[in-house]
Amino acid sequence: MPDTPHLDRIASPKDLKGLDIADLRLVADELRAETIDAVSVTGGHLGAGLGVVEMTVALHHVFDTPKDILIWDVGHQCYPHKILTGRRDRIRTLRQGGGLSGFTKRSESEYDPFGAAHASTSISAALGFAVANDLQGGDAHVIAVIGDGSMSAGMAYEAMNNAGALDKKLIVILNDNDMSIAPPVGAMSHYFARLVSSKGYRSLRKIGKGLAKVIGVEEAARRAEEYMRGMAVGGTMFEEMGFRYVGPIDGHDIGQLVAVLKNVRDGQDGPVLIHAVTHKGHGYAPAEAAADKYHGVSKFNVITGEQSKPAPGAPSYTSVFAKALIAEAEADPSVVAITAAMPGGTGLDKFAARFPDRCFDVGIAEQHAVTFAGGLAAAGMKPFAAIYSTFLQRAYDSVVHDVAIQKLPVRFAIDRAGLVGADGSTHAGSFDIGYLGMLPGMVIMAAADEAELVRMVRTAALIDDGPSAFRYPRGEGTGIELPANPQALEIGKGRMIREGNSIAILSLGTRLEEALKAADDLAARGLSASVADARFAKPLDEELILRLAREHEVLITVEEGARGGFGAFVLHLLAEKGVLDNGLKIRTLTLPDVFQEHDKPFLQYEEAGLNARHISAAALDALGRAEEAAKLLA
């Protein structure tokens, strides 16, 4: 069927095996078009995937996946891979509830041997597969594809150092699409890359090594070859770490890719790094023209590239934070900001535009970001480290050892607190209340709305005797008016929002709006409910909590965090004070003890049991009105 599109003939990577280079190019062209069309419907990460279309086709053509292990770093690059590995019929469910994940996921496909959504993990995981392969007597090839941005993280170099020392058969492909760490790719570099990966070169290299050993100049010869190649193609650093360096090659030239991959596959005797130069957004003009190369996009028009814009609404929490921090910096020259490769995501791009000398993007290096902030604090500056909750997990030792123990006033602006919708479990901010709350001296705030967030930025700026954190969610605020002259909060003090006498709802964070809805529902059922905003997870407002416990029959805590957080802290307090002995009925509403899948935020909170009806049902159940509660949850 000559008129059948090439991609329609690819049900799995095995269908790529017999194709020639011309046919592979046609598959790549159609794969790029399919990726663009799919993401135009779902939104997601586009630019990175477009940059590896040819590489994806070449890898699945040359290697025998899933027997050969192929690991994509981060997962932003994996959409073309998903299309080629039997998931094309579901690609338009990407990032939708019940659909495909936006990242690689072990439970989704045998072609995803290792899940990835955080950067710089691929080489470590691939080395684990390589060692296991040797111990089990296997003959699989193991390939890690890592972007140059991910190479800014120390973990990648730790893995490479270990891989070089172990001398295992491991292929690392450096997808160089931004850093421009190599000379321009041209005919000579193409030729040299193919030469150093070829059988003839390896044979000659082996003979030369033997001769050098005999005449006693082995080390000098090794260094001469290494530095000659380093001057020619920029691979000295990788060679020093024990990797044979191949490249740079044109990552969009399937002929070059296939030739080099076959050479490496057939002659591998240790770790190899292939340096492929690509262009993010390649092959789609709107992406190539965009400053961010369409790294992350909403739904868009394929013809024009114009992205769908949500109806004008309240400002996002992230933008409110950025504006508040700029205001603090204008009044205080000691205020500085740190981000770990997320200036746009955290709003610090706006801060950097206003104060370029006081904003520091340290790359994908959260551990360094925290200790760097600690050094700034120790030197008398006022650092704000703006890091997503899920990424701050990667720096926990630094938070403990380098900041908390030393009582350094680093301010942690924790974006993406709570559930995050389409990005799912890997990016959910579920654990920060618990993992920070256990640290002595840590002040933890959670904003109920954007006006509260502004006041928390002000409060954090004034805390100078230890670390502090304030958390806020992804997405839009409530539309509340922002304070023109924000006043700092009293540390460890919450606020009463509504007075009642039967049920007390104590909310931490942006579930406050749902708590008020629940109070309205309970009032319609003849029950009087108090609603309070805790503001602080640490230190707790003991006076407020004890008052609520003593004056109400039921106390319900509500938080956008995992078990072991705010509710647990309240239970500890009530147990210590003996209040639980007085017959208080208490319920702690938290995120469930599971990793929740991606979906629309409202539906995620429905699944979590943290919307208004769940709060009402918890109160009714505590009062013995189980049948009424069940109807609410039906």
- On the question of a cis peptide bond just before residue 486, with omega within 30 degrees of 0, the verdict is no
Give Cα 371 distance to the centre of its chain: 20
- Residue 83 parent element (H or E): none
DSSP state, residue 66: T
| 171 and 117 together in one domain | yes
- Residue 556 phi/psi, 5° resolution? -120, 125
Residue 238 scores a pLDDT above 90: no
DSSP code for 306: P
Residue 117 near residue 394, CB atoms below 8 Å: no
Cα–Cα distances (Å) from 337 to 265, 270, 288, 372, in that order, read 45, 42, 30, 11
Catalytic, 416? Answer no
* This prediction's pTM: 0.86
Query: For the chain, what is the domain count?
Result: 3
Q: Does residue 230 surpass a pLDDT of 80?
A: no
Query: Quick check: is 213 in a domain?
Result: no
Residue 589 lies in a domain: yes
Please tell me the predicted confidence (pLDDT) of residue 12.
Answer: 95
User: Does residue 36 form part of some domain?
Assistant: yes
- Note whether 58 and 119 are same-domain residues: yes
Q: What pLDDT was estimated at residue 146?
A: 93
Chain centroid to CA 410: 22
What's the rounded mean pLDDT across residues 575-597?
Answer: 93
Is 366 tagged catalytic? yes
Active-site pick, 350, 382, 394, 511: 394
Name which residue leads in pLDDT, 111 or 197. Answer: 111
Same domain, 261 and 112: yes
List, for residues 350-359, the tens digit of each pLDDT value.
999 999 999 9
Question: Cα(297)–Cα(45) distance, rounded to whole angstroms?
Answer: 6
Indicate the range of 211-220, 270-279, 531-540, 550-559 predicted with least confidence: 211-220
pLDDT band at 225 (very low <50, low <70, confident <90, very high): low
Q: Which of 289, 306, 331 is the last residue of a domain?
A: 289
Please report the pLDDT score of residue 289 as a whole number: 86
Locate 28 and state its tokens: 């790549």
Q: What is the pLDDT of residue 213?
A: 61
Question: Is 141 in the same domain as 271?
Answer: yes
CB 170 within 8 A of CB 163: yes
The reply to whether 444 and 559 lie within a common domain is: no
pLDDT band at 295 (very low <50, low <70, confident <90, very high): confident
130, 169 Cβ separation under 8 angstroms = yes
DSSP 8-state secondary structure symbol assigned to residue 402: I
Q: Is residue 488 part of a domain?
A: no
Residues 364 and 266 grouped into a single domain: no
Gap between the Cα atoms of 442 and 406, Å rounded:
11
State the Cα–Cα distance between residues 267 and 195, nearest whole angstrom.
13
Which of 439, 471, 503 is a domain's end point?
A: 471
280, 458, 471, 474: the catalytic one is 280
**Of the residues 471, 486, 515, the one at which a domain ends:** 471
For the record, the structure tokens of 86 come out as 């039997």
Report, as an integer, the average pLDDT of 136-158.
90
Does residue 299 lie in a domain region? Answer: no
% of the chain beyond a pLDDT of 70: 90
Q: Which of 4, 50, 66, 87 is nearest to 175 (CA)?
A: 50
Range of the domain at 131: 6-198+233-289
How many alpha carbons fall within 13 Å on the CB side of residue 31?
Answer: 31
Radius of gyration of the chain (CA): 28
429 & 345 share domain: yes
Evaluate whether residue 585 is within a structural domain.
yes
* CA separation, residue 2 to residues 5, 8, 20, 21, 136 (Å): 8, 12, 15, 17, 44
Q: What is the CATH number of the domain that holds 447?
A: 3.40.50.970
Mean per-residue pLDDT for 93-104? 90
> What distance separates the 2 farthest-apart alpha carbons in the chain?
97
Query: How many C-beta atoms surround the C-beta of residue 229 within 10 A?
Result: 18
How sure is the predictor about 185, in pLDDT bands with cuts at 50, 70 and 90? very low
Q: Cβ neighbours of residue 324 under 8 Å, at least 6 residues apart?
A: 453, 454, 457, 458, 486
Which pair of tokens denotes residue 461? Answer: 């700026």
Q: What pLDDT shows up at residue 180?
A: 40
Q: Is 9 left (phi over 0), alpha (psi -120 to 50) or beta?
A: alpha
Query: What are phi and psi for residue 336, nearest 5 degrees?
Result: -130, 160
As a whole number of angstroms, the distance between CA 605 and CA 566 comes to 17
Bin 136: left if φ > 0, else alpha if -120 < ψ < 50, else beta: alpha
395, 520: one domain: no
The rounded mean pLDDT for the chain is 90
Residue 372: CB atoms within 10 Å: 20
Span 413-443, pLDDT tens digits: 999 999 998 888 889 999 999 999 999 999 9
Residue 503: φ, ψ to 5°: -125, 135
pLDDT at 294 exceeding the cut of 80: no
What does the pLDDT read at residue 5?
77
493 in active site = no
Domain co-membership, 358 together with 415: yes
Does 371 share its domain with 458?
A: yes
CA distances from 178 to 51, 182, 291, 299, 353 (A): 11, 10, 12, 24, 21
Q: Would you say 416 and 473 are in contact if contact means Cβ atoms under 8 Å apart?
A: yes
Q: Is residue 398's pLDDT more than 80?
A: yes
Tell whether 224 is covered by a domain: no
Same domain, 110 and 240: yes
pLDDT at 181: 42
Q: What is the pLDDT of residue 179?
A: 46
Which entry of 34, 366, 450, 514 is annotated as an active-site residue?
A: 366
Q: Which residue has the tokens 């090794």?
A: 222
Question: What is the C-alpha to C-alpha distance for residues 134 and 140, in angstroms, rounded to an integer?
Answer: 9
Identify the CATH number of the domain in which residue 526 sits. Answer: 3.40.50.920
Same domain for 375 and 265? no
